[in-house]
Amino acid sequence: MKLITAIIRPDRLDHVREALIQADITRITVSRVTGHGRQEDIDIYRGQKIAPNLIPKIRLDIAVNDEFVDITVDTIINAASHGEGEIGAGKIFISPLEECIRIRTKERGGKAI
């Protein structure tokens, strides 16, 4: 099992959700977050370094069984991109998921996803 965390632009959320549903991936968690990456560099104003403003982003957390990792990642990449090489399109992180437990039924592992 893997936990896929994607950070995307807010205007791409509907595109990504629709694409994931079409790919039969319907269980996601969505959070509104802020941050910055390369799209804003640290500026110098009157000799002082000024930290860049935090930019609104969307965080998607998706727990999947191993056979769904590639399709989930490919779907997010295709739906979240604005164009080739555009800075600020987002990132995807894939982490091992040690355990998943469905509280209602107490199922564990891949069945609980």
Q: Convert the chain into a string of H (helix), E (strand) and C (coil).
A: CEEEEEEECHHHHHHHHHHHHHCCCCCCEEEEEEECCCCCCCEEECCEEECCCCEEEEEEEEEECHHHHHHHHHHHHHHHCCCCCCCCCEEEEEEECCCCECCCCCCEHHHHC
Confidence of residue 87 (pLDDT cuts 50, 70, 90): confident
**pTM metric for this prediction:** 0.84
pLDDT of residue 78: 94
**Per-residue model confidence as pLDDT tens digits over 1-46:** 999 999 999 999 999 999 999 999 999 999 999 987 766 666 666 7
**Per-residue model confidence as pLDDT tens digits over 39-74:** 666 666 677 766 667 889 999 999 999 999 999 999
